[in-house]
Chains A and B, each alone.
Chain A
Amino acid sequence: MNIKMIKILLKKELLDVFRDKKTVIMMLVIPVILYPAIFIGALQVSAAISSRMEEQIYKIAADTKNDDAFYSRLLLENNAADDSCHLEITDANDITDYKTALENGDIDAFITGTKKDGKMCYDIYYLSSEANSEHAKGIILEIFDEYSKELTEEKLEALGLDSHAILAPVSYEEQDTASSEQSLGSILGSILPFMLVISLLMGTMYPAIDTTAGERERGTLETMLTLPVTNRELIVSKFLTVASIGIISAFLNILSMSGIAFYMYQIVDMQIDLQKFDATKFLPAILVGILAVLAFSLLISAVTMCVTSFARSYKEANNYITPLMLVIMLTGYIGFIPNVELTPTMAMAPVANICLLIKNMLVFKIDYMTVAIVLLSNIAYAVFAILFLSRIYDSESILFGDAKSGFQLFEKRSNLKKGGVPTMSDVWLVIALTIVLIIYAGSMLQLKFGLAGVLGTQIILLSVPLFLVVYTKKDIVQTYGFEKTGVSGYIGGIFLAVGMFLLNIVLSNWAAELFPESAANVTDTFSELMDGNFIFVLFVIAAAPTVCEEMLFRGLIFHSMKARYRVSTAMVCTAVIFGIYHMSLVKLPATSLLGFILCYAVWMTDSIYPAMMMHFINNALSVILSMYGDKFANTVFYKDELMLSDILLLAGAGLICLTIGSVVLTKTRKSEPRNRTGL
Chain B
Amino acid sequence: MKNSMTAQQLVKTFTKNEKKNKKTDINAVDGISLSVSAGEIVGILGANGAGKTTLLRMMSKLMNPTSGTVQIKINDEEITDTIEIKRHIGYLSNNTKLYGRFSTRELLQMLAAVYGLEKAQADQKIASICQILSMEEFIDNRIEKLSTGQTQRASISRCLIHDPQIYIFDEPTLGLDILSSAAIIEFMKRERDAGKIILYSTHYMEEAEFLCDRLVLLNHGKIISEGTPESLKEYTGEKSMRDVFSRLVIREGAANEH
Interface set of A (CB-CB < 8 Å, partner B): 5, 8-9, 11-12, 15-16, 19-20, 218-220, 222-223, 225-230, 396, 400, 402, 412, 414-415
Contacts and interface: CB of A to CB of B under 8 A. Distances in A.
A16 B99 contact: yes
A229 B114 contact: yes
Contact of B106 (A5, A15, A415): A15
Interface string B196-237: 000000000000000000000000000000000000000000
7 contacts: A12-B110, A15-B102, A218-B100, A220-B99, A223-B96, A228-B84, A415-B21
B112 to A, nearest CB: 10
Contacts of B95: 219, 222
Contacts of B113: 8
A415 B97 contact: no
A111 B95 CA distance: 81
A223 B114 contact: no
B77 to A, nearest CB: 17
A225 B62 CA distance: 6
Contacts, number: 68
Given A9-B114, A415-B17, A415-B21, A226 B100 contact: no
Given A229-B83, A230-B83, A396 B110 contact: no
Given A222-B96, A223-B99, A228-B86, 15 more contacts: A8-B110, A15-B106, A16-B101, A19-B102, A20-B101, A220-B99, A223-B96, A223-B98, A225-B62, A226-B96, A227-B111, A227-B114, A228-B114, A414-B21, A415-B21
B14 interface: yes
A12 B113 CA distance: 10
Interface string B120-138: 0000000000000000000
Indicate the size class of the contact surface on chain B.
20 to 34
A226 B114 CA distance: 11
B235 to A, nearest CB: 35
Contacts of B173: none
A60 to B, nearest CB: 67
Query: What 7 A-B pairs have minimum CB-CB distances, sorted nearest first?
Result: A219-B97, A19-B101, A223-B96, A228-B86, A226-B91, A222-B95, A414-B21
B60 A226 contact: yes
Nearest to A223: B96
A227 B97 contact: no
A15 B102 CA distance: 8
Contacts of B114: 5, 8-9, 227-229
A228 B87 contact: yes
B16 to A, nearest CB: 9
A227 B164 CA distance: 12
Interface string B73-101: 00000000001101101110101111111
Nearest to A5: B114
A10 to B, nearest CB: 11
B174 interface: no
Contacts of B187: none
Nearest to A400: B63
B64 interface: yes
Contacts of A19: 101-102
B21 A396 contact: no
Nearest to A413: B21
B23 interface: yes
Contacts of A8: 110, 113-114
Contacts of B102: 15-16, 19
A400 B56 CA distance: 14
B104 to A, nearest CB: 13
A223 B115 contact: no
Nearest to A19: B101
A356 to B, nearest CB: 40
Contact of A223 (B17, B83, B97): B97
B153 interface: no
Nearest to A9: B114
Given A226-B86, A226-B91, A414-B21, A219 B64 contact: no
Contacts of A16: 99, 101-102
B175 to A, nearest CB: 15
B165 to A, nearest CB: 14
A227, A228, A400 — which one has the most chain B CB atoms within 10 A of its CB? Answer: A228
